[in-house]
Chains A and B, each alone.
Chain A
């Protein structure tokens, strides 16, 4: 499957077909009151696979990825992450949250902690890592997102793009197996979008399993093994980015793409 996707710009796929699926959603349903926001979502993400989720606002794409680490609870169906099923069991939830990193649209850095403390907090409190080791780890990832010199500053002193890169480093410090991105560039000024996307491309090149909700079609073309199009709580269409973008088979995707392209 992956060989067919590779274009000149597309980075090599790292899907490991032999490994069990990283994420499995099986007929997941969710309601807000009487509003049916996720309808029979079934989705399987392989280890090392990079999935981009797109769709109009209100289509349920954020809700879906927030269900994967139970920031939202699904009411019907099964979600299995890294071999562990999400239930009311707190231990299962703890295990899953340790392995799944998340990056938010609004960064959500902790404003009362320095950049370094933001990154070391979870390794120290969740992984019980010695502080010194956690700081070395944090500096490693901060170097990777190209802001090691800001480590002693506070989030309020950084630009939006820098804050989002810190948020990525903070998630990576937990050494997650899976990364979830919830519209990571939507709150950024245009000139800062690229620095964040570059960081994400770097992650993809290292073979991280990723689900990314975004409208950045360039990023999808370059990175995604698969694009999932959602509308009104359903997965309408999915496939390789080139195939999906150049040859949409449903009218809903056609409408969405024309709106997106008009915006650019």
Chain B
């Protein structure tokens, strides 16, 4: 290795290539083609813009985003922020974005958990379990998602009405108006306790990291769960008690033809969430299975022969290697789930596409409406991509 540094050949620099102005030169050809293609793309864009401007003028349509401040007048069934038909279009669209995020974020979390379990189940040595997982994956993957959403929605719609609602547990009602659950009568103390829980989770994570580092230093294993328990349960409990320990619970009650109070999961949201989760979980299951199978069996054997426990083998050896196979296709599935949530239109869940559609019908601002939808999906998708690429680069394997 070291003698190459003193090797005189090593000091020579590569010769510079001269550009020969000839069609036979590979690089001249490459440059000509690139110029032609970029020129064509610019030409097409210019034509589209001109054409649109002309058509808008002929039809006397004003462009611009001024309409966002006008009163929307459109009713929205479920909103995470305060909304009335008297609110502006901007607020209506914000509700739509939040509804999309609500189904996408929870859907991604559930699909990941559910999919990972099915993927592992399919690898199980238990014949029945692995066959059930295999049948699930094949069935779910082979039926179009739109059909599955309609299927779930139909099932939820065919539930009995509120007066005959299914009542599996006290305060829980399942009817064609959705799922009603008892919920805390929300007080500021609850918000503070929730905040304390989040702080506790972060503290646990930091603590576990520090303890792992110290174990790497002196080899002594450390118990993490007592501190974790204190951080994640004790801290919120103390905050809740300090806030006066409010215990009032808002129970759903049948009043007339519908329920009052409690928490509602609408049938539209429920159907969309179940549909997206079960569908995407089928794909994630296969990705997880492929990832685990991609780690050679010899890795397990070598780690076991060294005396490592299977939990340690999984965490230190198998998962780090499986993840680099799992993460890139998983990113695609997260993006798919997010974009597939636009099928909400079909079952009447008011996500961004549904609300932007109504907006552009009412205002005639088609270009702006479509632009907003594209911008929303682009932002969400790019955020997911950036996060996943960052994570992927962290776990990438160094070779040669």
Indicate the size class of the contact surface on chain B.
20 to 34
Tell me the chain B residues, 317-369 only, with Cβ under 8 Å from chain A. Answer: 317, 320-321, 324
Tell me if A110 counts as interface (CB < 8 A to partner B). yes
Given known contacts A110-B317, A112-B397, A157-B399, A128 and B306 CB-to-CB distance under 8 angstroms: no
Q: Chain A contacts of B324 at CB under 8 A?
A: 112
The 10 closest A-B pairs by CB, nearest first: A108-B302, A156-B399, A122-B306, A97-B307, A102-B305, A108-B298, A128-B219, A130-B218, A126-B307, A129-B219
A-contact 0/1 string along B207-219, CB 8 Å cutoff: 0000000011111
Q: How far is the CB of B284 from chain A (nearest CB, A)?
A: 22
Asked whether, in the complex, the Cβ of B316 is within 8 Å of the Cβ of A121, the reply is yes
Asked whether, in the complex, the Cβ of A106 is within 8 Å of the Cβ of B298, the reply is yes
A-contact 0/1 string along B298-318, CB 8 Å cutoff: 110111111111001000110
Tell me the chain A residues, 142-180 only, with Cβ under 8 Å from chain B. Answer: 154, 156-157, 167, 170-171, 174
Asked whether, in the complex, the Cβ of B217 is within 8 Å of the Cβ of A130, the reply is yes
Q: Chain B contacts of A171 at CB under 8 A?
A: 305-306
Asked whether, in the complex, the Cβ of B305 is within 8 Å of the Cβ of A97, the reply is yes
Name 19 extra pairs, CB < 8 A, besides A112-B324, A154-B398, A174-B307: A94-B307, A97-B307, A101-B305, A106-B298, A108-B298, A108-B302, A109-B302, A110-B299, A110-B302, A110-B317, A123-B219, A125-B308, A128-B221, A129-B219, A131-B217, A154-B397, A157-B400, A170-B306, A174-B306
Main secondary structure of the interface of B (DSSP, over half): helix
Tell me if B158 counts as interface (CB < 8 A to partner A). no
Q: How far is the CB of A217 from chain B (nearest CB, A)?
A: 26
The residue of chain A having its C-beta at the shortest distance from the C-beta of B302 within the complex is A108
Q: Chain A contacts of B298 at CB under 8 A?
A: 104, 106, 108
Asked whether, in the complex, the Cβ of B308 is within 8 Å of the Cβ of A111, the reply is no
Q: Chain A contacts of B304 at CB under 8 A?
A: 69, 71, 97
Can you show 17 pairs from A to B with CB atoms below 8 A apart? A69-B304, A97-B305, A110-B303, A110-B317, A111-B399, A112-B324, A112-B397, A121-B316, A124-B215, A127-B219, A128-B220, A131-B216, A132-B217, A154-B397, A156-B397, A167-B302, A174-B307
Tell me if A213 counts as interface (CB < 8 A to partner B). no
Q: How far is the CB of A57 from chain B (nearest CB, A)?
A: 18
Contact of B302 among A100, A104, A125, A133 (CB under 8 A): A104
Asked whether, in the complex, the Cβ of A112 is within 8 Å of the Cβ of B307, the reply is no
Tell me if A98 counts as interface (CB < 8 A to partner B). yes
Q: Chain A contacts of B221 at CB under 8 A?
A: 128
The residue of chain A having its C-beta at the shortest distance from the C-beta of B320 within the complex is A112
Asked whether, in the complex, the Cβ of B219 is within 8 Å of the Cβ of A124, the reply is yes
The residue of chain B having its C-beta at the shortest distance from the C-beta of A70 within the complex is B304
Tell me if A134 counts as interface (CB < 8 A to partner B). yes
Among A101, A125, A154, the most chain B Cβ lie within 10 Å of the Cβ of A125
Q: Complex formed: what's the CA distance from A124 to B306 in Å?
A: 11
Among B302, B308, B309, B316, the most chain A Cβ lie within 10 Å of the Cβ of B302
Contact of A71 among B216, B301, B307 (CB under 8 A): B301
Q: How far is the CB of B174 from chain A (nearest CB, A)?
A: 45
The residue of chain A having its C-beta at the shortest distance from the C-beta of B395 within the complex is A112
Q: How far is the CB of B221 from chain A (nearest CB, A)?
A: 6
Tell me the chain A residues, 235-257 only, with Cβ under 8 Å from chain B. Answer: none
Q: Complex formed: what's the CA distance from A100 to B317 in Å?
A: 20
Q: How far is the CB of B292 from chain A (nearest CB, A)?
A: 15
Q: Complex formed: what's the CA distance from A128 to B221 in Å?
A: 7
Among A71, A101, A109, A171, the most chain B Cβ lie within 10 Å of the Cβ of A71
The residue of chain B having its C-beta at the shortest distance from the C-beta of A105 within the complex is B298
Given known contacts A126-B306, A174-B307, A104 and B301 CB-to-CB distance under 8 angstroms: yes
A-contact 0/1 string along B259-303, CB 8 Å cutoff: 000000000000000000000000000000000000010110111
Asked whether, in the complex, the Cβ of B305 is within 8 Å of the Cβ of A69, the reply is yes
Q: Chain A contacts of B216 at CB under 8 A?
A: 124, 131
Asked whether, in the complex, the Cβ of B308 is within 8 Å of the Cβ of A121, the reply is yes
Among A110, A112, A122, A170, the most chain B Cβ lie within 10 Å of the Cβ of A112
Q: Chain B contacts of A156 at CB under 8 A?
A: 397-400
Q: Complex formed: what's the CA distance from A101 to B301 in Å?
A: 12
Q: Complex formed: what's the CA distance from A100 to B307 in Å?
A: 9
